Amino acid sequence: MTTQVWLVLLGAILLEVSGTTAMKLSEGFTKMGPSMMVLVFYGASFACLALTLKVIDVSVAYAVWAGLGTALIAVIGFVCFAEPVSWVRVACIALIVVGVFGLNLTGSH
């Protein structure tokens, strides 16, 4: 696999995280700007994810996309939205990341 496809997957992850952040900022889709950004970011994220599925197994690509996206949005929640942080939450996020890397190690051959 080329580095390029992994960069596209990274882009998909960052776009998904941006969409989720915009969703939070939309306050239940009551603010037009952030609500529109949700559609733009998620649409672009899914498009990038679909491109990666031409090369990367769906089980690996989706796990990386969802797992790292979940971990990143949790960190954004802690840092930007003052959500409570506990060692249990941090440990669970670490387990998600470890699981993603473990699945990636057993990926396409």
Query: Per-residue confidence at 75, pLDDT binned at 50, 70, 90?
Result: very high
Q: Is the pLDDT of residue 100 over 90?
A: no
Round to whole Å and give the CA distance between 52 and 56.
6
Q: Is the pLDDT of residue 66 over 50?
A: yes
Contact 72, 80 (CB under 8 A): no
Q: Is the pLDDT of residue 15 over 50?
A: yes
Q: Is the pLDDT of residue 108 over 70?
A: no
Q: Give the number of other CB atoms < 10 A from CB of residue 26.
A: 17
Which range marks the domain in which residue 90 is found? 3-105
Q: Which two tokens stand for residue 57?
A: 């197994």
CA–CA distance from 38 to each of 14, 17, 35, 43 (Å)? Answer: 13, 10, 5, 8
Q: Quote the pTM value.
A: 0.90
Round to whole Å and give the CA distance between 86 and 106.
31
Number of domains forming the structure of the chain: 1
